[in-house]
Structure formats: C-alpha cells, structure tokens
C-alpha cells in the first residue's frame, strides 16, 4: 500500500525547488503563500528563502507571519523555528522592524525536553538584539539592558555586542558597569570592552590596560582580543607593552593573533622582530599568526626576510612550510 504523502514534506520540497525557478513573480507568489502556512516548518523554510533570495518586497509578509505566530507561539511555532527564521531573514535583508525586534528580545519559550524544559527562543532573542541595535531607536540601550543578565550566554554576548554597536552615548556607562561586574562567559567581557573601545577609545584604553593586569586570566584574554579587534594603534602598542609581562602561555599564544588582527604597522614591526631576533617559541607563535596573511606578497617577503635573520632559520623555515600547508 502506497504511503500517503506528508503535506509538510511536500511543501518543503516545493519550496526547495524554487531556487531553480527563473520567474521571480512565481517565486514571490509561492513564498507569500508559504509564509501564510499553518505549518511553522513551512513558514521557517519560506523565510529562509526570502533572506537567501534577497526578496525584500516580502517584508510585509514576513512581519505578518511573525505577528501571527506570536499570538500563540507555544502552539503555532513549536520549537521556535518560524520566529527564528523570520528574524534572521529580516537581518539579512537589513529591514528596520523595531516592533518585531522589540517583541523578539522579550520572548521566552520553554518547551519540554529530556532533562528539563529548554528555552527555544534563545537564538531569537540574540538575533533580535542585533536587529534592534541596527534600527537605532532612542530607547535601544534601555531595551537591551535586561539581556545583559539573560540566563543564556548567547543572548548576553549578543546584547553586549548590540549595545556596543548602537553608537549611542548612553551605551558607555552600561558597558562599563557590565565589564566591572563581570560575567561567567569571557566573550561577554570581550564584547563589552570592544564596544567601549569603539564608543570612547581614549577613555577606554585605561580600562583595557587595567584588564590586562587583572589576576584573572579570562579577563586578560578578553582584553587581548578586544584590543586586537579595535584596530587602534594605541591598542596595538598596549599589547606590545604588555607582552613581556604576560606569563600565561595560552594568552601569549593569543597575543600575536590579536596583533595581526589590529592590522597596525607597529604590530607587524613587532611580530617580524620576534621572528628575526626572539627565542624559538616566540618566533614560532609570531609565524603562526602571520601565516594567515602570506597571500599578501609584502607580508610574505618580510616574513621570509625575518626568518633569514634568525639563528633558528632552518627550524623556522620548516615550521613556515608546515603552517602554510595547514592553513
């Protein structure tokens, strides 16, 4: 006996086939129909396609689908697939949808699971935070503050990133307070400090230096990453100044990568100096960091010239060949 076709599987297959459809009007019509589906998995697949195909003309349908699912998310969007996909599509299309994002950051959806309830709206809150920040509303920071104490690490990280990216002056004291209070997730600290270095670089460098001297290795590591991401010349100089003081091996391995990330000439001069004149371990760490840029002929030339000056030339040439093979 032939098995009856599952309507959801059929709808999902038809949506996947739309990638090969040349008629844009046909694609748009079918996506509109799918976004209105009573099956949340179909809505989710349609929203994903809207984002991938850049179908910004379906903005109203995306928002309408979000509002409909939000009327009873536990029933209409089990697993949170539809709401999550819609917000991701809005982000890809760079659509300002503050009402959607405001509802998204507040939504919590615990669902039964083995070992206890699981909140399926974590990714929704995180992505909504990024979207709300991009909208640039006057209450953005106030709206995002509660997410800095969210139970989910992903949400706290996204909140710190979103507050740091919003460009508002009221973001600085919020990030400073969160940085001083701390967080169990080091990446939250990274985002707080990185945001401060964007918002108020001169005032925040002293704070970054304080973090570099902290007894907690996680805070020092966070400061290293944030200073590299800031791409500030003063940030690179701060890392170089701290280099001989750092005793944690893992952080010392991280510092050359942060200096490469900074893209500052003073950072490159320091790293090439390590290759040419430092002891073998430091030279190897510098080569590993610089190897990601050897596609640039100038970087490769300087790196090979620095290796040629080292008393460990043979070992470093061998290590460079290995590093290039693995990259």
What pLDDT is stored for residue 327 in this prediction?
63
pLDDT band at 4 (very low <50, low <70, confident <90, very high): low
Reported confidence tier of residue 326, pLDDT bands at 50, 70, 90:
confident
Beta strand residue intervals within 37-187, DSSP E:
110-111, 118-119
pLDDT score at 5: 72
**pLDDT at site 230:** 95
Average pLDDT score over residue span 81-100: 98
* Average pLDDT of span 114-140: 95
Q: What is the pLDDT of residue 21?
A: 85
Q: What is the pLDDT of residues 138-183, one digit of tens each?
A: 999 999 999 999 999 999 999 999 999 998 889 999 999 999 999 9
Residue 1 has pLDDT above 70, yes or no: no
DSSP character at residue 110: E
**Mean pLDDT score, 67-93:** 97
Q: 158: buried, middle or exposed (CB in 10 Å: 19+, 13-18, 0-12)?
A: buried
pLDDT tens figures, 275-308: 998 789 999 999 999 998 988 999 999 999 999 9
pLDDT tens digits, one per residue of 197-217: 999 999 999 999 999 999 999
Which long-range contacts link 50-56 to residues 24+ away (Cβ below 8 Å)?
50/89, 50/93, 51/85, 51/88, 51/89, 51/90, 51/91, 51/92, 51/93, 52/92, 53/19, 53/27, 54/92, 54/93, 55/27, 55/28, 55/31, 55/93, 56/93, 56/95
pLDDT score, position 151: 97
What's the whole-number average pLDDT of the chain?
A: 94
pLDDT of residue 147: 98
Question: How big is the chain, counted in residues?
Answer: 327
Quick one: which H or E segment has residue 193?
helix 186-199
Q: What pLDDT was estimated at residue 325?
A: 81
Query: For 117-124, what is the mean pLDDT?
Result: 97
Mean pLDDT across 58-74: 97
């Amino acid at each position: 006996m032939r098995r009856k076709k599952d309507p959801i599987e059929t709808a999902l297959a038809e949506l996947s086939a739309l990638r090969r459809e040349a008629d844009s009007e046909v694609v748009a019509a079918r996506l509109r129909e799918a976004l209105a589906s009573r099956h949340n998995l179909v809505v989710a697949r349609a929203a994903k396609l809207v984002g991938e195909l850049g179908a910004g003309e379906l903005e109203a349908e995306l928002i309408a689908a979000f509002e409909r699912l939000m009327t009873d998310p536990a029933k209409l969007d089990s697993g949170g697939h539809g709401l999550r996909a819609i917000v991701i599509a809005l982000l890809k299309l760079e659509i300002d949808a503050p009402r959607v994002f405001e509802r998204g950051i507040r939504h919590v959806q615990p669902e039964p699971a083995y070992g206890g309830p699981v909140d399926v709206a974590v990714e929704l809150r995180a992505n909504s935070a990024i979207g709300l920040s991009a909208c640039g509303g006057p209450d953005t920071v106030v709206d995002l503050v509660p997410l800095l104490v969210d139970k989910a690490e992903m949400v706290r990280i996204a909140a710190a990133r979103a507050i740091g990216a919003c460009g508002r002056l009221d973001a600085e004291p919020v990030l400073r307070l969160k940085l001083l209070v701390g967080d169990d997730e080091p990446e939250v600290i990274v985002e707080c400090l990185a945001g401060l270095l964007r918002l108020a670089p001169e005032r925040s460098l002293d704070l970054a230096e304080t973090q570099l001297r902290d007894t907690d290795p996680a805070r020092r590591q966070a400061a290293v990453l944030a200073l590299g991401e800031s791409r500030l010349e003063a940030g690179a100089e701060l890392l170089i100044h701290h280099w001989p003081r750092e005793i944690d091996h893992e952080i010392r391995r991280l510092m050359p990568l942060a200096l490469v990330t900074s893209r500052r000439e003073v950072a490159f001069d320091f790293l090439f100096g390590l290759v040419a004149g430092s002891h073998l371990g430091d030279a190897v760490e510098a080569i590993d960091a610089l190897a990601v840029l050897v596609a640039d002929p100038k970087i490769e030339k300087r790196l090979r010239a620095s290796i040629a000056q080292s008393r460990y030339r043979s070992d470093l040439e061998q290590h460079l060949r290995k590093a290039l093979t693995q990259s």
